[in-house]
Amino acid sequence: MAPANVTIKDVAAAAGVGVATVSRVLSGTGSVAPATRERVLAVAKELHYRPSALGRSLKTQRTGSVGLVIPDVSDPFCAEFTAGVLACARNLGEHVTLDVSHDEPAVEAEIVDRMAEQRVDGIIAMPARGAPATWRAVTRMGLPVVFAGRSVDELPEIPVVLADEAGGVRSVVEYLVGLGHRRIAFLGGRAEVTSMRLREEAFRLTLADLGVSVDGDLVVRARPTRDNAYAAAASLFMRRPDLTAIVASSHQLGEATVLAARELTLRIPADLSVVVIDDVPWAELCDPPLTVVARPARDMGYRACEMLLRAPDRRENRPVVLPTELVVRSSCAPVRAVRGAR
Amino acid sequence: MAPANVTIKDVAAAAGVGVATVSRVLSGTGSVAPATRERVLAVAKELHYRPSALGRSLKTQRTGSVGLVIPDVSDPFCAEFTAGVLACARNLGEHVTLDVSHDEPAVEAEIVDRMAEQRVDGIIAMPARGAPATWRAVTRMGLPVVFAGRSVDELPEIPVVLADEAGGVRSVVEYLVGLGHRRIAFLGGRAEVTSMRLREEAFRLTLADLGVSVDGDLVVRARPTRDNAYAAAASLFMRRPDLTAIVASSHQLGEATVLAARELTLRIPADLSVVVIDDVPWAELCDPPLTVVARPARDMGYRACEMLLRAPDRRENRPVVLPTELVVRSSCAPVRAVRGAR
DNA sequence: CGGTACGATGGAATCGTTTCCATAGTGGAC
DNA sequence: GTCCACTATGGAAACGATTCCATCGTACCG
């Protein structure tokens, strides 16, 4: 009734054949007499035989599983990215082992070590800063790795899938300037995070390109905690009531921006145009719906997985950059003459 | 420099000891002379030895991994639930293999079969309806399973972690009735989904208990697609302009409710009090912030994982029900005399 | 009719661990 | 001085698959 573990030997014995024959039948390789094949299949079903992936993997040296390391499942971008990885993995017949690093290098190292012991076929990661040693160790043992969303400067040899952060910011700034805005604030994240730095740089650069002088006072940075971001946004609004638009550099900072504006009864977009980088579901639900720069989270996951599993030999040496999209909704308006005037 | 795979034999040879000794040193069992231990450790580090979990698992018959099957990673509830599972798994030294079923029984069956082959130590699932056969097959082979968020009537023997749906709805209804509402609508989901049915039943029951007659016309059902939900909400508002409050039975339905109300320029909470079942980040960001019933997603995940791994022998036969919480924010107001009057 | 080629099959080695069991050495108790 | 108990150690047998290689018919060709 409840046979603990039925192995290939049991099947072979019950069918009166050798284990090699059973293996051939089940894996479809080699040639087997039709009658034998039927019998083996019948017996296997009868006994509820499930081949053990452990035995197989030990022999074949492939586990059919990929490791995925992200900072946080609850983050909508990470979740969507994960969905993409899962979709691709399924198509390619792999399964996914997931773990979260909370962006702590020590935790990340532990996870990656474990995955290496687990002999995953490869690892996809949004790497935390500051732990190149672990990654070096793991690639040295021949384990394929693909980074996504962030690159690590110390590890240029690891293939990476990125979003076109700079392009996204550029289109935002062009859009806002086109609406007549000149005093545009930028609420950024910590400069140590590559993508944050990229966004800020693109902001300054584009403004300069458009001949709008960059007011350093309008570029502020905040840690992505709720309180810190809120405080940064609120103090910016108090200090510079003359600003007409703001670019929030992450969805957390976007939340803070909207909340702070609401608290100070700044009307969006009448008093203040707002753009958030990263699309999240609530951006559309917000009143008014928020104009955002959307990164193709799902595609990035799919693509990263594909890069990992297909042709791990001929790696892309240059980052694969996927386009971002400026999703125009209703949080930006042309600057009003009275405010926009010098 | 780049040794493909260094095994325990290589370490043993290099250290001039037997493989058994190396195993003892690395696993910390048995007794080993301190000098030998040092030497083995040194050699192992030198060679970058990583024990293969495959070999170990094959021998010990434990993989140290748990399978997690959810309908959709992008859903905030599922994501938070997953975070709880990951947290518990890490504490207990396990890792997690994740896959998504999209609530399709066929996909679910495929995933579960695969996990069984993979010899996971146990499976946590938010089961799709209508595939008890797979679960039966898998439990029969001795694989522990814990359900979460939903129970399957046909499988009462499988332990399950639930949220107190009924209690949550009850407190909502009491709250609304306490504010003077009498014409309260209920926007529910498909009746085949257990939790949806539970919520609707609790709604009717509580109303009856409080002596408020249930207006069948105010209880509507929608599929959780965006359009369908929106249409249901909008047509309800058009048909019954006299209703003063609405309970949306899922976060998707909540979105639709808010959107439809906004479209029809119903002011929340002045014209309409709204409660949503399930807390999602944007509920707090909404204007006004939404009063919701929060399920303890993270705790549910943690608890499910704990149940799975701790004492799989003495199972809870009755569902573990975790409390829900009525989070009062600003989307409900006392009914105004002019509208509340009969 | 002999040789050959091929289809069908089973035995056995292998993958990398853990762990049981046997053995050798050693110090102490009698 | 014997013997015992105990520590330290290595050999070898699993665990459950895959796969190479050898074997055995048999049909076909010359």
Question: Could you write out the DSSP letters of every residue in A44-100?
Answer: HHHTT----HHHHHHHHS---EEEEEES-TTSHHHHHHHHHHHHHHHHTT-EEEEEE
Interchain contact, A119 vs B63, CB within 8 Å: no
Using the CA of A12, which nucleotide's C1' is the nearest one? C10
User: For residues A12-49, b (16+ Cβ closer than 10 Å) or e, as one string?
Assistant: bebbebeeebbbbbbeeeeebeeebbebbbebbeeeeb
DSSP H or E segment with residue B177 = helix B165-178
Residue type, A208: A
**CB contact at 8 A, B193 and B237:** no
Interchain contact, B90 vs A99, CB within 8 Å: yes
Distance, CA of A267 to chain centre:
33
Task: Give the one of B72, B95, B119 whose C-beta lies nearest to A99's C-beta.
Answer: B95
Half-sphere exposure of A83 (CA within 13 A, CB side): 22
* DSSP symbols for B292-331: EEEP-HHHHHHHHHHHHHS-SSS--SSPEEEPPEEE--SS
B243 Cβ contact partners less than 8 Å away, ≥ 6 residues apart = B183, B184, B185, B218, B236, B237, B272
Task: Give the one of B48, B74, B95 whose C-beta lies nearest to A114's C-beta.
Answer: B95
pLDDT, residue B289, reads 92
Residue B124 to chain A, least CA–CA distance (Å):
14
Q: How far is the CA of B101 from the C1' of C9 (A)?
A: 41
Closest Cα partner for B300 from B276, B278, B326? Answer: B278
Residue nearest to nucleotide D6 (CA to C1'): B31
Q: What is the DSSP letter of B164?
A: -
Residue type, A113: D
Q: Is the CB of B251 under 7 A from strand D?
A: no
Task: Give the one of A58, A72, A287 whose C-beta lies nearest to B55's C-beta.
Answer: A58
**CB contact at 8 A, A84 and A305:** yes
Q: Which two tokens stand for residue A334?
A: 């042309």
The CA-CA-CA angle for residues B63, B69, B70, to 5°, reads 150
Q: Which of A78-82, A188-192, B273-277, B335-339 has the lowest mean pLDDT?
A: B335-339
Phi-psi sector, A316: left (phi>0), alpha (psi -120 to 50), beta: beta
Pairwise CA distance, residues B68 & B100, whole Å: 8
- In the predicted model, what is the mean pLDDT of chain A? 92
Asked if the model's pLDDT at residue A341 lies above 70, the reply is no
Which residues of chain B does A258 touch, with a Cβ-Cβ cutoff of 8 Å?
285
Q: Which two tokens stand for residue B96?
A: 């997690």
Q: What are the φ and ψ backbone dihedral angles of B336, each rounded to 5 degrees?
A: -80, 145
- In a mutagenesis test of the A interface, which of B99, B118, B330 is the best target, namely the one with the most A β-carbons within 10 Å? B118
pLDDT, residue B42, reads 95
Chains A–B, number of C-beta pairs less than 8 Å apart: 144
Interchain contact, A73 vs B83, CB within 8 Å: yes
B69 Cβ contact partners less than 8 Å away, ≥ 6 residues apart = B99, B100, B101, B108, B111, B112, B115, B123, B124, B125, B126, B127
Q: What are the φ and ψ backbone dihedral angles of A124, each rounded to 5 degrees?
A: -110, 130
The mean pLDDT of A51-70, rounded to a whole number, is 96
Pairwise CA distance, residues B176 & B335, whole Å: 9
Which residues of chain B does A98 touch, with a Cβ-Cβ cutoff of 8 Å?
82, 86, 96-98
Q: Is the CB of B91 under 7 A from strand C?
A: no
Q: How are the residues of chain A apportioned to helix, strand and coil, as percentages rounded to the nearest 5?
A: 45, 15, 40
Q: Which two tokens stand for residue B286?
A: 């909404």
The CA-CA-CA angle for residues A157, A86, B282, to 5°, reads 105
The mean pLDDT of A13-20, rounded to a whole number, is 94
A229 Cβ contact partners less than 8 Å away, ≥ 6 residues apart = A187, A222, A223, A252, A253, A255, A256
Pairwise CA distance, residues A342 & B48, whole Å: 66
What does the H/E/C string look like for A169-225? HHHHHHHHHHCCCCCEEEEECCCCCHHHHHHHHHHHHHHHHCCCCCCHHHEEECCCC
Find, in chain B, the residue whose alpha carbon is nearest to that of A93.
B114
Pairwise CA distance, residues A149 & A167, whole Å: 15
User: For residues A308-339, b (16+ Cβ closer than 10 Å) or e, as one string?
Assistant: bbeebeeeeeeebebebbbbebebbbebeeeb
Q: How far is the CA of A33 from the C1' of D27 (A)?
A: 16
- In a mutagenesis test of the B interface, which of A97, A98, A268 is the best target, namely the one with the most B β-carbons within 10 Å? A98
Residue A210 to chain B, least CA–CA distance (Å):
34
pLDDT, residue B310, reads 85
- In a mutagenesis test of the B interface, which of A73, A114, A117 is the best target, namely the one with the most B β-carbons within 10 Å? A73
Pairwise CA distance, residues A206 & A212, whole Å: 9
* DSSP symbols for B210-263: TTPPP-GGGEEE--SSHHHHHHHHHHHHHH-TT--EEEESSHHHHHHHHHHHHH
Which residues of chain B does A97 touch, with a Cβ-Cβ cutoff of 8 Å?
65, 95-98
Helix (H, G, I), strand (E, B) or coil at B69: strand
Question: Could you give the C-alpha distances from A12 to A43, A53, A263, B141, B312, in angstroms and in order?
Answer: 9, 18, 73, 19, 32
Q: How far is the CA of B39 from the C1' of C20 (A)?
A: 25
Residue B72 to chain A, least CA–CA distance (Å):
8
Pairwise CA distance, residues B131 & B124, whole Å: 15
Beginning with the edge strand found earlier in the chain, give each strand of the sheet holding B219-221 in spatial order.
B219-221, B184-188, B245-248, B273-277, B291-294, B325-327
Q: Is the CB of B31 under 7 A from strand D?
A: yes
Using the CA of B33, which nucleotide's C1' is the nearest one? D8
pLDDT, residue A316, reads 65
Task: Give the one of A116, A117, A287 whose C-beta lies nearest to B262's C-beta.
Answer: A287
Pairwise CA distance, residues A53 & A47, whole Å: 17
Question: Tens digit of pLDDT for each residue in A287-313?
Answer: 889 999 999 999 999 999 999 998 666
Distance, CA of B178 to chain centre:
31
B255 Cβ contact partners less than 8 Å away, ≥ 6 residues apart = A281, A285, B226, B229
pLDDT, residue B131, reads 83
Interchain contact, B282 vs A281, CB within 8 Å: yes
Interchain contact, A54 vs B54, CB within 8 Å: yes
Half-sphere exposure of B237 (CA within 13 A, CB side): 26
Which residues of chain B does A54 touch, with a Cβ-Cβ cutoff of 8 Å?
54, 57-58, 63, 119
Q: Is the CB of A33 under 7 A from strand D?
A: no
Strand D: which nucleotides have any atom within 7 A of a protein Cβ? 7-21
pLDDT, residue A282, reads 87
Interchain contact, B118 vs A53, CB within 8 Å: yes
pLDDT, residue A342, reads 39
Q: How are the residues of chain B apportioned to helix, strand and coil, as percentages rounded to the nearest 5?
A: 45, 15, 40
A241 Cβ contact partners less than 8 Å away, ≥ 6 residues apart = none
Q: Which two tokens stand for residue B69?
A: 């099957």
Task: Give the one of B5, B65, B80 whose C-beta lies nearest to A74's C-beta.
Answer: B80
Cα radius of gyration rounded to whole Å, chain B: 27
Residue B205 to chain A, least CA–CA distance (Å):
32
- In a mutagenesis test of the B interface, which of A49, A265, A282 is the best target, namely the one with the most B β-carbons within 10 Å? A282
Q: How far is the CA of B37 from the C1' of D6 (A)?
A: 19
Q: Is the CB of B23 under 7 A from strand C?
A: yes
Interchain contact, A118 vs B99, CB within 8 Å: no
Torsion sign across C-alpha atoms A236, A237, A243, A249: positive
> pLDDT truncated to tens, each residue of chain B (342 aa)?
345 689 999 999 999 999 999 999 999 888 899 999 999 999 999 999 999 999 999 999 999 999 999 999 999 999 999 999 999 999 999 999 999 999 999 999 999 999 999 999 999 999 998 789 999 999 998 999 999 999 898 999 999 999 999 999 999 999 999 999 999 999 999 888 888 999 999 999 999 999 999 999 999 999 988 899 999 999 999 999 999 999 999 999 999 999 999 999 999 999 999 999 999 988 988 888 999 999 999 999 999 999 999 866 666 678 999 999 999 999 999 987 654 443
The mean pLDDT of A14-37, rounded to a whole number, is 92
Pairwise CA distance, residues B321 & B312, whole Å: 18
Which residues of chain B does A280 touch, with a Cβ-Cβ cutoff of 8 Å?
281-282
B161 Cβ contact partners less than 8 Å away, ≥ 6 residues apart = B146, B147, B148, B149, B300, B303, B304, B307, B319, B320, B322
The CA-CA-CA angle for residues A7, A9, A10, to 5°, reads 70
